[in-house]
Amino acid sequence: MLRILHGTKYDFIRPWRIAVAITAVFIVAGLGFLAVHGINKSIEFTGGTLMQLEFQQPPNPADLRATVDGAGYPGSEIQPFGSPREFTVRAAGHDAGSSVEKTAREIEIALHKRFGATEPTVVRTEIVGARVGDELSRNALIAIVISLFVTLLYLAFRFEWRFGVAAVLATAHDLLSTLAFLAIMRLEVSLTVVAALLTVIGYSLNDTIIIFDRVRENLKKARPEPLYDVLNRSINETLPRSVLTHVTVAAATLSLLIFAGEVIRPFSWIMLFGIVTGTFSSVYIAGPTLLWIERKWPRARGNERAPSRAPAPVAPVKPAASRPPVAARTR
């Protein structure tokens, strides 16, 4: 196996205040952006009609918007999709499936009248009723809540409560920071993005558990050592594994981000950001939180397992009787 970064002695915990301040500013800014602009939901959650259009020459976005408005669907979202020749049109739908299908036909007819019989090419059309969108939204929220609940149960049985609380707070940080990243990047939230969020939660939790497992192993050793030093040593000992794992996953995710196209791009962005925030939280959120809990509620010292019975007392050894001096032989 490739051996890198073995025997390092970096002090990862020392700059935790700076790291926490940076991530707090990022989360507050992202959540503020989310409160102002809302969530950019995909057609799967909002319901309606989504059309991906491809033109031979880049069209004027104003003409495209005027055409869609003239077809009877004002306020539709029109966005570039990868290149200046591709656009997506998202028009609000209705409860009846026939009405939503009619929306796609009317928009396509209006576009052909404005841009020509062969312009544009409709690459794909997605039609989702509003009721289906509400059901998907509810199921996505249930999936996230169930995953967090199962995570809490796992931590309760796997770790001491101090470790569990620190891991849960680190996972909550990952969820909030990823939502902030979604809001700042204005990524479209679809079922694929929900799957990426759940993957990020599991990925970050796995990284935290590996570090905490090493911490528990080092705490069981005979040599007395402050928890601060144990945390630093444990992170350094798991550093080679972390680097190899994160670089491998990041390379695969970066390939998807560059070559997989626009449809899978939000998933790739979330996964790539999740690698960063998961590693960050395992070191700078979970570790300092565990230190803070230890200082507030310190563990009992000297609670090592006592022997089942006390050893039998050893009788004192009596000194050997001194011999009388041997008389000198006389001739």
Q: Where are the domains of the chain?
A: 16-37+133-296, 48-128
pLDDT at 300: 63
User: Cβ distance 295 to 224 under 8 Å?
Assistant: no
pLDDT at 307: 36
% the chain with pLDDT above 90: 8
Confidence of residue 259 (pLDDT cuts 50, 70, 90): confident
- Using CA atoms, how far residue 275 sits from 21, 45, 199, 239, 269, in Å, is 20, 26, 10, 14, 10
pLDDT at 130: 59
**How far, in Å, CA of 263 to CA of 147, rounded?**
25
Class in CATH terms, 16-37+133-296: mainly alpha
If you average pLDDT over residues 189-212, what whole number do you get? 84
DSSP 3-state of 304: coil
**How far, in Å, CA of 292 to CA of 226, rounded?**
13
| Residue position matching structure tokens 């981000």 | 257
- The yes-or-no verdict on residue 305 having pLDDT over 80 is no
If you average pLDDT over residues 20-34, what whole number do you get? 91
pTM above 0.85, yes or no: no
CATH tag for 48-128 (out of 3.40.50.150, 3.90.550.10, 3.40.50.300, 3.30.70.3220): 3.30.70.3220
- 140 token code pair: 């996505």
**How far, in Å, CA of 101 to CA of 94, rounded?**
10
**How far, in Å, CA of 119 to CA of 112, rounded?**
6
% the chain with pLDDT above 70: 80
- The yes-or-no verdict on residue 40 having pLDDT over 90 is no
284 CB-near residues (< 8 Å, 6+ apart): 12, 15, 16, 19, 20, 23
DSSP 316-330: PPPPPPPPPPPPPPP
For 108-163, write each residue's pLDDT tens digit: 888 888 888 777 888 888 776 656 666 777 877 787 788 777 777 777 677 778 88
User: Cβ distance 229 to 196 under 8 Å?
Assistant: no
Confidence of residue 27 (pLDDT cuts 50, 70, 90): very high
For 68-113, write each residue's pLDDT tens digit: 888 888 777 788 887 888 888 888 654 444 455 778 888 888 888 8
